[in-house]
């Protein structure tokens, strides 16, 4: 939501801050996806061979949404260099 607000008002430099937050969210999402995966942390932490942990695709979809947002914010957040004043 804030990305759209800053994009509409022309404050494109702020998109880089939100891109950084989305990168952290993506890293956290990837770690969660690994932790809840069949061969991940749950099997190691519980020391069991149970495959009872079912995984939905919502986390996978959320990670791809974060990737798309990061790329869009990277492209749209570019600000041109200021032009030099003529003397």
Per-residue pLDDT of the chain (87 residues; tens, 9 = 90+): 667 777 778 777 778 888 899 899 999 988 888 777 665 566 666 666 555 556 668 888 889 999 998 898 888 887 777 788 776
Q: What is the pTM of this model?
A: 0.69
Residue 64 confidence (pLDDT): 92
Residue 39 confidence (pLDDT): 58
56 DSSP 8-state letter: -
**76: which residues sit within 8 A by CB, 6+ positions away?**
7, 12, 15
Residue 25 confidence (pLDDT): 92
- Could you give the CA distance from residue 39 to residue 53 in angstroms, rounded to a whole number? 11
Which among 48, 2, 44 has a CA at the least distance from the CA of 21? 2
**42-55: buried (b, 16+ CB within 10 Å) or exposed (e) per residue?**
beeeeeeeeeeeee
Residue 43 confidence (pLDDT): 62
Residue 24 confidence (pLDDT): 94
């Amino acid at each position: 939501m804030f990305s759209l607000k800053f994009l509409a008002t022309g404050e494109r430099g702020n998109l880089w801050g939100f891109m950084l937050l989305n990168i952290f969210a993506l890293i956290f999402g990837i770690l969660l996806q690994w932790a809840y995966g069949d061969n991940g942390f749950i099997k190691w932490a519980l020391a069991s061979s149970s495959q009872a942990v079912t995984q939905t695709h919502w986390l996978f979809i959320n990670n791809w949404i974060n990737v798309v947002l990061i790329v869009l914010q990277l492209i749209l957040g570019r600000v041109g260099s200021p032009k030099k004043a003529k003397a």
